[in-house]
Structure 1
Amino acid sequence: MTGQHRSTPVRHLLSRWEILFFLAVDILLGLQVFFFNSNIQSLAGIHGAVAVLAWFESFVADHAYAMAPVILLPLIYLLCCPNKPAWERHCLDGLGIYIIFRMVIQLIGLNILVFDSLTSRFLLISQLLLFLPYSLLVWGWIYWRLDTFARGRNHPLFSLDCEGEKPRPIDYFVASFSSVFSASISAIKGNSARARVLILGHGFLIYDVMGLTLSRAVALVQSR
């Protein structure tokens, strides 16, 4: 009886894995904004695209007091709520669109910063180290969400290397993270042209981030 009571909170958290996912992603995103604004003085005298990026990140940081409750309060409520309210799916999909938008902005920003001679070494390295797990988590969620929707219509978008016929949520994240350690994204395959284009976009992002990291590492070695 005691074991059953102890396992109930664990089962509840497992059933709310998507909420925990969004909380983890928001923490990574918050750390990116924090480290960027902590080193923003290294971008003094900037102009052009870098100035636009600095303005955007400063705007997000300055309005975090308003944005944080809007994002965190619904997530905390959904995490604690014993039943799933009708609006949960719409809320989480809305947050999903937001984190995808921020991922695109962060990727553009990283490509801008790597070519800016005024950018401090710590700023770019910290942004790269935080962006990589952030983007891999987001891509895992994208795969899961789109495939779950498609499977509901009996037209799965992806084929994964997994134990059962129906992939678990963790299988999509494993496929996303395995792309870092493989020359190609082989853990997940598209069943349609659109799905394959999506995987191609994921591969482009990974190669871009790894290329930026390598170029920064080479620059650090050459500067010594």
Structure 2
Amino acid sequence: MPELITEIPRGLVSVMLKREARRKKTASMLSLKNPPAFCITAYIGYIDGPWPFTYPGTKNTPLQITAMVVSLGYFIFDMAWCVYFRTEGLVMLAHHTMSILGILLTLWLGESGIESCAVLFGSEITNPLLQTRWFLKHSGRYDSFLGDVVDVLFVLLFVFMRIFVGGTMLYCELISPRPKFIIKCGGVAMYALSWVFMVDIGRFAYRKSLLKYQRWINRHRMAEVNGQDVKRD
């Protein structure tokens, strides 16, 4: 009987942990369903047009509306998931909130869809790397060369797309007379949030680089010690 009493809490804890892992895996699998919207926005920006850097503030096209509606559903789902399970911090919640409001505003105004699609493309282009990182972590393969490659690619892609390309597009948005003032304010807010993410990523990159360097120093010292021990023998 005492063994049964002690085993029941263990079983409950095990079930809860398995459910939590299953929920996280399900969320990651569902977030992989956003690539269709990513592919559509890439097609809109590079092929269908208009070019967002030279024609901001133009009327929404049916394809742009489709991409925004699909992305809106993804962001609403992910926002609800993050709030319910408390999986993300305030910065990510702010990002999702601004994304949802921005898409709704663009759909309501009936214009600036090309800018919204360009922002969606730039925001979600790093998502496959984030999901790859998650799967590497949960399969025990993150602390490897592949994990380092994924992190480096993520940082480089984020800096290039969110900071440099995003900054260029924001400049084109601000100097153009076509976009409405509220759309320009939304662009400034999203770009400012990108810099908040950039600071967090910079801290992460610094901590990981420092940890890698310390491990390299420790291995080097251990090799020297082992070499000296061999000489003494």
**TM-score relative to the length of structure 2:** 0.39
Structure with more helix by fraction: 2
